[in-house]
Amino acid sequence: MRLETLAIHAGRAVDPATGAVRPPIHLSTTFERDPDGGYARGYVYARYGNPNRAALEEALAALEGGAAALAFASGSAATMSVFQALEPGDHVVAPLDAYHGTVGLLREHFTRWGLEVTFADLTDPEQLEAALRPNTRLVWVETPSNPLLRITDIRRVVEAAHAVGARVVCDNTWATPVLQRPLALGCDLVVHATTKYLNGHGDVTGGVVVAREVDAWFERLRAIQVQGGAVPSPFDAWLVLRGLATLPYRVRAHTEHAARVAAFLQAHPAVEAVHYPGLADHPGHAVAARQMEGFGGMLAFQVRGGREAALAVAARVRLITRATSLGGVESLIEHRASIEGPGTRTPENLLRLSVGLEHPEDLIADLEQALEAAV
């Protein structure tokens, strides 16, 4: 079945007990044991598993073309479970430009647990080769990256990493399975913050890990999920599953709107640079055109005049909301350097824009009036 059909039907069935077409929310923390002591109905205790979480995991595995999925209480919990499944002394290669929470987990927590970490610009094949070592067990890819929309050639990373016996994990949050299928490009795992496009309505915090195959290492991830218990609530699982139904149509509209906003910004005299892989002069344009089905709903732009000019533009928007996060129906603008804090590599005049599902002309009109005083 095609993605649009899977988005609506994978993990769903008419409720056998009531005939309800939409799934009920199962709040029970515990499940009845059979007289013989077994659990023939499959559920024991809600941390181990619950019908809403099982349905979500089945749907997410289907959308990414994976063998199985594990849902978590946040994208960061999903990310953390992957690092927790490694051993002290294992070496990890991670990108320089990536979600600052992922970088923070590695730098502040997992190096203390004995992981060795090398940060490198994975868009550059020479830096990638130089970063790999015989004890490299994991290469983390995020493409398009946060916040500079850098594009990494997934196949190339997979080839180099697999040659030294390392697994490749792709954070596919910004692209979604609608635009990019990392498992089909050879990655071993996909991670998402379902908080973003997959739920799509800005009202759930969640994450997922999807695996190409169920092996012993994936079983270790599953043990971390159920023993550690950073699992989504039944209602959160239910909401993400509901959001998934419209994912393909939402992502295509986000993409179309972002392309129009990017073209507007690129032509504006107050804008110094636009980072959007759909633009022909973006350094990752050719790779993105090859490995993605569209360029996505996220962009970043730099305002002429530095930090103060950028903050002034963010202060003047009226329709677009000043807030962190992304992937929801409403457009959000963010001065990224100030949320990332001291030591950030993000340019001070950069604003990140999550282009929502409002009419693109209304978004452009809002940006036009906000940029006017900056000219």
Ligand X SMILES: *Cc1c(COP(=O)(O)O)cnc(C)c1O
Which positions are catalytic?
47, 99, 171, 196
C-alpha angle 192-195-201 in degrees, rounded to nearest 5: 130
- The residue with tokens 């009226």 is 318
- Using CA atoms of 16, 19, 23, 25 in order, give the dihedral in degrees to the nearest 10: -80
Q: Which residue in the block uniquely carries the two structure tokens 């986000």?
A: 254
- Please count the other Cβ atoms lying within 10 Å of the Cβ belonging to residue 67: 14
The Cα 175–Cα 144 span in angstroms is: 7
The least distance separating ligand X from the CB of residue 83, rounded to whole angstroms, comes to 13
Binding test (CB under 6 A) with ligand X, winner from 83, 99, 110, 264: 99
Q: Which stretch binds ligand X (CB under 6 A): 69-77, 106-114, 117-125, 346-354?
A: 69-77
Report the residue number, 101 or 125, with the smaller CB distance to ligand X. 101
Q: 217 Cβ partners below 8 Å, 6+ apart?
A: 85, 167
Shortest distance, position 194 Cβ to ligand X, whole Å:
7
Residue 257 Ramachandran class (φ > 0 left, ψ -120 to 50 alpha, else beta): alpha
> Contact region for ligand X (CB under 6 A) — 97-105, 220-228, 252-260, 286-294?
97-105
| 173 touching ligand X, by CB under 6 A | yes
Q: How far is the CB of 195 from ligand X (least distance, A)?
A: 4
Q: Should residue 294 be labelled a site residue for ligand X when binding is judged by CB under 6 A? A: no
Instruction: Identify which of residues 146 and 271 has a Cβ nearer to ligand X in the complex.
Output: 146
Choose which of 76, 143, 225, 291 interacts with ligand X (CB under 6 A). Answer: 76
What x-and-dash track marks residues 178-217 binding ligand X by CB under 6 A? ---------------x-xx--------x-x----------
Cis peptide bond N-terminal to 283, omega within 30:
no
Q: Decide: is 146 part of the binding site for ligand X (CB under 6 A).
A: yes
For strand 298-303 and strand 271-275, is the pairing parallel, antiparallel, or unpaired? antiparallel
Residue closer to ligand X by CB (options 142, 366) is: 142
Cβ of residue 172: shortest distance to ligand X, in angstroms?
Answer: 9
Q: Is 74 in the site for ligand X (CB under 6 A)?
A: yes
Binding of ligand X at residue 101 (CB under 6 A)?
A: yes
Of 78 and 374, which CB lies nearer to ligand X in the complex structure?
A: 78
Choose the binding region for ligand X from 71-79, 221-229, 267-275, 303-311 (rule: CB under 6 A). 71-79
Name the residue whose CB lies closest to ligand X.
75
Rounded to whole angstroms, the Cα distance separating 214 from 73 reads 21
Candidates 320, 319, 350; CA nearest to 335 is: 350
Residue whose token pair is 């941390």: 47
CB of 146 to ligand X, least distance (A): 5
C-alpha distances (whole Å) from 308 to each of 119, 268, 335, 338, 368 are 30, 18, 10, 12, 18
List, in order, residues 6 or more apart from 115 with CB less than 8 Å away. Answer: 83, 86, 88, 90, 91, 92, 106
Closest distance to ligand X from the beta carbon of 100 (Å): 9
Residue ranges in contact with ligand X by CB under 6 A: 74-76, 99, 101-102, 142, 146, 171, 173-174, 193, 195-196, 205, 207
